[in-house]
Amino acid sequence: MLTFERIAVVGAGAWGTALAQVAHRAGRSVTLWTRRPAQAEELRRTRQNERYLPGVALDPAIAVTADPATLAAAEAVLLAVPAQALRDAGLALRAHLPEVPLVLCAKGIDLSSGLLLDAVVGDLLPGRPLAVLSGPTFAREVAQGLPTAITLAAADEALGEALAQALGSAAFRPYWTDDVTGVLVGGAVKNVIAIACGIVGGRRLGENARAALLTRGLAEMLRLAQALGARRETLMGLAGLGDLVLSATSAQSRNYALGERLGQGQSLTEAQGTSKGVTEGVATAAAVVQLAQRHAVEMPIAAAVDAVLHRGAAIDSAMEALLARAFKPERG
């Protein structure tokens, strides 16, 4: 079986920092790379990521660097930059990344091209085996070593199993699959539905309404995934339903929290201004709607979120339009 003793993590936000801790706990030699030399110096000096993950100590054994040349020694590379920053990161690093497996850890759809993120990575960093890590995870809990289950997808299941063994531990349990598309779609769409559920919370429309949105949002996720060739059971697992439940029901979720602030009357600029990290669902809402239209997939909740975020629609008008839709049988 393949083994991966030296792991590099690209991106020192909350998720990248947490994944560096995960790989270290699994017994790997870990390098955490950030594009900002000042951040690298601060992390080396304080062992604290105060901006993105305050209060969680970075293990002293984890090397921190802003020098891309140090990535050449890695046997696998985890790409933990935000979805819309992935293209720039790939361009900056492709001369330095070795031809080793890449693990995509972002959740979203590339807005500039409308492509799923595996296609973006394949275009920028060709010739490297690719896997995707996704599922119900809050970075802080992962970094603290609290129990977590997650999906690791790779077209080559042997690669998926080997990466799961390399990253897994008693508290971090990867389940592998070969359905890369299903895992990517689940991770992207759940952020959009989480914003919708946050709006419902902020408007105080009740738990019934949130449960309905979550369930019908899952139906939208399933329709898009199956149109792209994914398997239904993937979306009923950790990377679909599991991640959706987590993100759409907790104020710890940046997407839910942003939706809640919108529901309370804040503008998008105001709602984004209080977040320390990237709220992936904002850009993904527009990209999801474009992708759904290309494949003739009906996604009214995602379209309503996009209309509120990017097209000047009033929240009450968007909700009224959803509630005015014709009654129909429940068949997905």
Domain carrying residue 229: 181-323
**Which residue, 156, 178, 200, sits at the end of a domain?**
178
For the segment 209-231, the average pLDDT, to the nearest whole number, is: 97
**Which residue, 178, 193, 212, sits at the end of a domain?**
178
Q: Indicate if 18 and 128 belong to the same structural domain.
A: yes
- Confidence check: pLDDT of 326 > 90: no
Residue pLDDT, tens place only, 188-213: 999 999 999 999 999 999 999 999 99
pLDDT reported for residue 293: 97
Q: Are 16 and 84 in contact (CB under 8 A)?
A: no
Q: Indicate if 104 and 219 belong to the same structural domain.
A: no
Share of residues in the chain with pLDDT > 90 (%) = 92
**Which residue, 152, 178, 204, sits at the end of a domain?**
178
User: Is 222 within a domain?
Assistant: yes
Residue pLDDT, tens place only, 71-91: 999 999 999 999 999 999 999
Residue pLDDT, tens place only, 258-297: 999 999 999 999 999 877 788 999 999 999 999 999 999 9
The overall average pLDDT reported for the chain is 95
Q: Indicate if 97 and 21 belong to the same structural domain.
A: yes
User: Is 226 within a domain?
Assistant: yes
Instruction: Say how many domains are in the chain.
Output: 2
For the segment 149-168, the average pLDDT, to the nearest whole number, is: 96
User: Is 21 within a domain?
Assistant: yes
Q: Confidence class of residue 332 from pLDDT cuts 50, 70 and 90? A: low
Cβ atoms within 10 Å, residue 331? 5
- Confidence check: pLDDT of 329 > 90: no
| Active site members | 190
Q: Indicate if 239 and 302 belong to the same structural domain.
A: yes
Q: Are 146 and 172 in contact (CB under 8 A)?
A: no
Selected residue with higher pLDDT from 282 and 328:
282
Q: Indicate if 140 and 14 belong to the same structural domain.
A: yes
For the segment 118-125, the average pLDDT, to the nearest whole number, is: 94
- Confidence check: pLDDT of 330 > 90: no
pLDDT reported for residue 1: 62
User: Is 328 within a domain?
Assistant: no
Q: Indicate if 189 and 286 belong to the same structural domain.
A: yes
Give all strands of the β-sheet with 172-177 in edge-to-edge order: 63-65, 29-33, 6-10, 76-79, 102-104, 130-134, 148-154, 172-177
The dihedral through the CA atoms of 231, 232, 236, 239 has a sign that is: positive
User: Is 331 within a domain?
Assistant: no
CATH number for 171: 3.40.50.720
Cβ atoms within 10 Å, residue 113? 13
- Confidence check: pLDDT of 138 > 80: yes
Q: Indicate if 288 and 312 belong to the same structural domain.
A: yes
Q: Indicate if 219 and 315 belong to the same structural domain.
A: yes
